[in-house]
Structure 1
């Protein structure tokens, strides 16, 4: 009958653990949730991750800016050693031509002398020696050969990969804070056992002292008590050291004030795991997959280096007085740039990026295998903690019944005070074992949720 009761209790805990409607985050202590939030805000790793994500966004904007027209204002002043002119023969030819045109307009014969009263225009310089220029240039890429497009896609996947890495880092940080917080709760739970042990030893010391006075005990018994008291003092010192170290660890992880952390009195309670039938992709896997896609698009970007690129070029001169006879005031043109051979550099870079994507694929498969194994281990550990909690609860039930029985016997002079203290000490130790089982259970729950990608906080 007793065995059936234990089996029923175990099944109850298993079913409750798998189908409880309360979520993991709802069962977390609000103080612990606040510490996790502060830890995430304080983490330098998370901050660096956010900065890297912003850099990836800027890379996207830089890639998109290729298609935005570039406008450049230019201004310059140049002084040559002399004006640039036609050679003397050309100047004579231009002057003779000017005379012929004037005589023809005046109706003079071809062989008639040129009239002296008609002025002639000097031949203009090709370029004056003082050159002042002010202009604007417009460069507009219409088609980048898919190079910019692939660069944008690669940057987007890189940003997603960095964001998933940040989420994974937050999960690791949350796990560390939860574990440290629970360890502090376990340390405080041990304080009760130490106090009970101290009271027990004080009672024993008083009993032995009276027994020695009445010749019922020897000094060796007293030395045994003194040794036990020294050992207890060592455990109390260890308790203080552990408390200080855990408070320092929480301070480092969260940035919370040490005085506030010393005021905390965390307690351990059983976690009831909600149904987690399906496994979500871990953030680490998502990060690797996005990094793989980023390298694939990076490889495509390198390959598209050989596709012709089309751009528009425009130029306008604000000052035309200083232009040479051959300089246009403005022009607009469309150009094509086709990189036919670049020394095989683009091909090698594309091949290198493709190999990098293969590395990410291998890492993904390796990570998935490790995660599958961790899920199995976490599930087994969780089931073991549930069973252990049931066993410890039965130990507490037995220790409680024993203490109540021995206490009644003592009141009826059927048992000594030492028997009562022994039973009370056993009860305190059993209660502490329950706290330890809760600690292990909470570790198993968090590890299982983390392994299945369902950790929320």
Structure 2
């Protein structure tokens, strides 16, 4: 933590406390640990946010599927106008009866028998109830399928988080590598600049020939060019990680590399990979979903039984409808559908077989993938240890070249070559360290141990 001290006159102790707090906050905002970067990734990245909304949508769809267990209650109503009243003219029958009864004027005695059964204006409103009582197990199967789909959506969401976490680890340590490389290039530049100044003085005093100063100037130009390139690498790596996590409120990363160590046996990692990997769990969930699909298709062989009911809430001009409610049970059974069900069941069974084969191949691919990561870690560990030994020799060689040059028995070119050789070894060492951390982080994420890895960092 760095605090910038300002030459200010404070009117009260509270002002000093506030400015110290502000300076501390500014300092913290300039650096970012990998754990902080991961938290920002989960909260700010657009792809993860979109995946989270998709998960919420699937969850609501899963809740909606549960409504199949419950009755459907609704209300309906209509108000109609017919083209004319519905009437029945019974006057001929009246006249016939009048004749039988020897009535001389049936119309006067018996009246008009032209009866209106329904006026042209009518209306009604009802409350409706529908509830499926039996569907051959389809409702249970559909709800189970919906639950598995939600679990799949959760797994896909975690896979997206893991995918971007692996990318974050890669970007983070690439930025760390670029920063370490920049420090080395700055050291080389300052060292070569110092040697260039010494060579110029030695030449002016007639100790070394002019060609040595020319070598020093060429080396200084090369060192400056490499330094400028290293600065651009840092800027590009910084932009990449800022875009990934969705914030620019930092300028450097502060988490250190994990030092390479001897790993557990490969078999332990392979066992964890087969039990914890999210890709494999996705295939296993798809297998369960395919099995449920067979049950859904089998349910089509059974009849569908439902409870239905209506209650008349209001009516107008409906003299023929005198009941207030009715209820009953309905059944529908499709006995033949042109062999559609048989083919759909076979298709569902083929999907089950397909997922079984995918699961088998996925396990083999995961074992190969785990071995690849493991071997990469072993290789980078060996490279790191070998380069550590080479670095000690290169540092000794540079020291001897510098002493020889200062004593006049060596050339500046030999000093620069020894310096560049040491820098090259350091760069290779940092690259091996970076690749080890990236690969180790990827392995831990795929094993479902992201939190463990971040805590190690």
Please, what TM-score do these two structures have when normalized by structure 2? 0.77
After superposition, the CA RMSD in angstroms is 3.9
Q: Is the 8 A contact 1:406 1:415 kept in 2?
A: no
- Which of residues 57, 61, 78 is equivalent to 1:76? 78
For 1:25, the equivalent position in structure 2 comes to: none
Alignment CA distance shift 1:222-1:44 (3 Å): same
- Which of residues 85, 90, 93 is equivalent to 1:88? 90
CA distance in 2, matches of 1:92, 1:225: 134
3-state secondary structure, aligned to 2:117: coil
Map residues 356-371 of structure 1 onto 2, 5 A cutoff.
Answer: 356-371=351-366
Q: How many correspondences in the alignment? A: 414
Determine whether 1:334 maps to 2:323.
Answer: no
Give the CA deviation at 1:427. Answer: 5.1
Alignment CA distance shift 1:238-1:400 (3 Å): closer
3-state secondary structure, aligned to 1:393: helix
CA distance in 2, matches of 1:402, 1:44: 52
CA distance in 1, matches of 2:312, 2:151: 46
Gaps of at least 5 residues in structure 2 are 1-30
Highest CA radius of gyration, 1 or 2? 1
Determine whether 1:233 maps to 2:230.
Answer: no
CA distance in 1, matches of 2:82, 2:279: 66
Alignment CA distance shift 1:319-1:373 (3 Å): closer
CA distance in 1, matches of 2:370, 2:246: 32
CA distance in 2, matches of 1:330, 1:91: 35
Q: Is the 8 A contact 1:162 1:287 kept in 2?
A: no
Give the CA deviation at 1:405. Answer: 7.0
- Which of residues 54, 58, 61 is equivalent to 2:60? 58
After superposition, what is the alpha-carbon deviation per residue over 1:91-130, rounded to whole angstroms, capped at 9, x for unaligned?
639x969xx9xxxxxxxxx99999xx99989786432332
CA distance in 2, matches of 1:247, 1:32: 13
CA distance in 1, matches of 2:226, 2:389: 27
Give the CA deviation at 1:181. Answer: 1.1
For 2:250, the equivalent position in structure 1 comes to: 261
- Which of residues 302, 310, 314 is equivalent to 1:307? 302
For 1:177, the equivalent position in structure 2 comes to: 168
Map residues 279-298 of structure 1 onto 2, 5 A cutoff.
Answer: 279=272, 280-298=275-293
Deviates more, 1:247-256 or 1:428-437: 428-437
For 1:376, the equivalent position in structure 2 comes to: 371
Map residues 192-211 of structure 1 onto 2, 5 A cutoff.
Answer: 192-211=183-202
For 2:39, the equivalent position in structure 1 comes to: 37
Gaps of at least 5 residues in structure 1 are 1-28, 101-109
Q: Is the 8 A contact 1:310 1:334 kept in 2?
A: yes
- Which of residues 122, 128, 131 is equivalent to 1:131? 122
CA distance in 2, matches of 1:412, 1:85: 129
CA distance in 1, matches of 2:336, 2:297: 13
CA distance in 2, matches of 1:72, 1:273: 69
3-state secondary structure, aligned to 1:57: helix
Deviates more, 1:245-254 or 1:341-350: 341-350
3-state secondary structure, aligned to 2:306: strand
For 1:438, the equivalent position in structure 2 comes to: 433
Q: Is the 8 A contact 1:153 1:297 kept in 2?
A: yes
Q: Is the 8 A contact 1:188 1:265 kept in 2?
A: no
Give the CA deviation at 1:299. Answer: 3.6
CA distance in 1, matches of 2:375, 2:71: 62
- Which of residues 141, 157, 162 is equivalent to 1:166? 157
CA distance in 2, matches of 1:242, 1:163: 37
3-state secondary structure, aligned to 2:317: coil
Q: Is the 8 A contact 1:56 1:156 kept in 2?
A: no
CA distance in 2, matches of 1:321, 1:432: 93
CA distance in 2, matches of 1:179, 1:145: 52
Please, what TM-score do these two structures have when normalized by structure 1? 0.77
Deviates more, 1:229-238 or 1:204-213: 204-213
CA distance in 2, matches of 1:51, 1:340: 43
Determine whether 1:270 maps to 2:255.
Answer: no
Alignment CA distance shift 1:80-1:194 (3 Å): closer
